[in-house]
Chains A and B, each alone.
Chain A
Amino acid sequence: MLKKYALSLLFFVLFICLAACSEDDESSGSGDNGSGGSGGSGENVELTMWVFPGMGIDEQIERYQEENENVTINIQEAEYADHHQNLLTALGAGSGAPDVAVVESAYIEQFKVNPDQFHNLNDYGAEDIKDDFLEWRWREASSPDGSFVLGIPTDVGPMAMAYRMDIFEEAGLPTDPDEVSSQLSTWEDYIEAGRQIQDATGGYMFNHIAEIYGVIRDQGEEQYFDEENNLIIEESEQIAKAWELAVEAIDIQPGIERESTEYGAALARGDFATVFLPPWMLQRIKDDAPDTEGLWNVAQIPEASGNWGGSLLTIPAQSDHPQEAYDFISWLMAPEQQLEIFKSYGNFPSTPELYDHEEVQNYNDPFFTRDDLGVMFGEAAERVEYVYRSPDTSTVNTIIDDALTSIHDGSASPEEAWNNALEEIDRQISR
């Protein structure tokens, strides 16, 4: 009896495996006409596109469909983490991936090292539009030698620094942006100012130790890995610098993460005098702390800039309509459309020619006092340096962030935290 059951079970499993495999050959793309491939204009094509919320591209997609009647775009939205998990699942399972998928900058490296899973956009003409985009952003979207391009960049998140004028004044620091920039030109100056604020007001300089570490880390020319993916964390000067400064700054921060529910309350109460500020942060400050209107001003971050956020539009290899998909995404992220998206949603463009456009030049918000925010962010975007990152970079980042946080929690000394982190990094990147 049991044997019979086992046998039929076995057959069943075989059947399922076969079914799953045969599906691969047929390749379940979207769209009805499986002819796929190049050219393709004129035929009716449906493109499935996976996005996460808040990308601000709906109106432009609508326009594209009006102008290209043979193309239908089917937008499927999922929450940020869900979206990337779904993409991973569909690629891993070998079926079910869309024609266009957004990949956020935090995930770029992990997808980029598997070029087989995506169409190389250079094959469809990405070379021609390369110069429209910020150089560092394009390099992040490409393989180190530039032969493979994973995706077309959407917006970027160049960072400036917002600071509370009232707190700066109370501590005897300058409040004028230019003077702030010159007095806080290095991180040492920044920490010094933080101490001054703490002495004068008892308040903090910024929110969380891992955040200052991340900003300083991203300002260097190299991070944890060289381009052959050898771990160079112990040799990297920038990492050493970022770690040491972050540890030094531990008493001028309260340990409130930006994602935590407490962050809004802390912001509203004016717990920290500065906020590292990508453009998308403006709205958040206004929502969380509407009473602080007029108390803020914006200057550049000490030493260099940095980037936080932005995505790529990619075409998974499972798509049967790569050319149509490419035509669509290269149109969508062309400067004209990025300008429209910027006008409606404030997503900061990744095409530098727009930084001279009057819309960007005149972009400002009385909430933050100075009237040339657009110019500031444009400058910040062009100051960002390209850094090589490996697929294990985010794993290492998480471990280092945790190590720093554990120093703040008081559960490890800086030395212990660093050594433990190195051990854990070795273990995790070998899997």
Chain B
Amino acid sequence: MNATVSTTIFAAFMVLTVVLGLLAVRGRRGGNGSGAGLAEWSVGGRSLGTVFIWVLMAGESYTSFSYLGAAGWGYNFGAPVLYVLAYMSCGYAIGYVVGPMLWAYARRHGLVGITDIIAHRYRRPWLGAAVAVLATVCLLPYIQLQITGMGVVVSTISYGTISLNWAYFIGFAVTTGFVVVSGLRGSAWVSVLKDVLVIVTLGFLAVYVPLHYFGGYGPFLDRIVAEKPQWLTFPGHASGGLGQSWFVTTTVINSLTVVIFPTTVAGYLGARNADALRRNAMYLPFYNVLLFVPMLLGLAALFVVPGLTGAGSNLALFKLVVDSLPAWAVGVIGVAAALSSIVPMAVFMLVIGTMWGRSVLGAVPRLASRQKTWSQLVVVVAGALALLLTYTAPTTLVRLSLISYEGMAQLVPMLLLGLVWRRLTMYAAVSGLAAGFALVCVLVFGGHDPIWGVNAGIVGLAVNVVVTLAVTWLGPRERADDRPDAEVLALEDEFPRAGTAAGAPR
């Protein structure tokens, strides 16, 4: 009975999701050519206003991790989970500068993603293609994380009726079902549904769980302070080295990475104007307040369902939900969590498709005329690949996901420094990237993250920057590139610079 109710609600909302996603492009005609059609699909025709950008960017950055991992970290470690809050807040703040800068650059030159931006900046299509391959390796694990996250949620809220394997497939099918057709615009529309459900359900749980289990906030918080103080300060409970220096370095590097993360940039480029992005840098941090809910519920679960370990602790929040609420409410909360997998998954797949359609396959002259078609095809291939690996070799991508964020961070100098500093050569950017990425791989796969109490990614980034600067100053000069600075750099909108760029004729 319970299972029927919650499964029916879930099924109805999944149908609604696909319909909503497809309705998003009704009445809009993207051409089939290479330019306009791809931009319409990949970055919503650069036409989203402040509200849609807010909804989309909030929608894509609060993934299934917010429901599962945040509660699980809260349950296992306590305070270290606060890093999510810190890096997202700091990232939104510097997004005030970086967002409009990338937006203006991409719009001026008709670019649709970071690989496209890099290919244009260094005037080397092959570099864009190479970065696309690297970024795909970093992004693919995230698709799998969303698929598996959705799987455990759906199987839990259906009281076991829907098996894990079927739940994985539903996640893939629903996402592919709308994103292939409607691209970024469809993701933004589905985000509206997602954000409404997430805000309502988390707001409800924030009130309900303390009342139901502890008789109110006062007793709940008193009990945590009295019985679990270890969880309430750094380094947290049995966290294995996640102390203050880890928190600081992780926040710094993640806040720099999140602003150039390909999915974030897709959101930036979808904006109608730069001011929509500046306003969002102001409004988006409010969404972070919601992250406190799963963190606190993770702590609450310590008292209600003690003894969860490993992957089980990720279900800390859902154990409370299933234990204390009627089936229809379980179904609705499950839908909110499932959409928290679907929306980010859609944007991840979209971004991979765009990178390949534009920078890899689009760089081949014979294929360049059908970039949108290639992009859509790659979306299906990437999603199917992630799904297939989830079934056959689940640990492969999990292992890769360890380097996803710290690896992506190594693109920061090539992209951001490159856009404001003309002298930075392609040789320097590539050397820095290679050195940083290799070091991160060695440290992470060697089991040295954190190393000396700091995030391994920031060690890689430091080496990356040093190599980049050294090769720029000492290495080979760039071949004659006679384009004016305004063509190469993100001069205008808007980066704080002391003086003007070198080489600009006065």
Chain B binds chain A? no
The residues of B with any CB-CB pair to A shorter than 8 Å are none
The residues of A with any CB-CB pair to B shorter than 8 Å are none
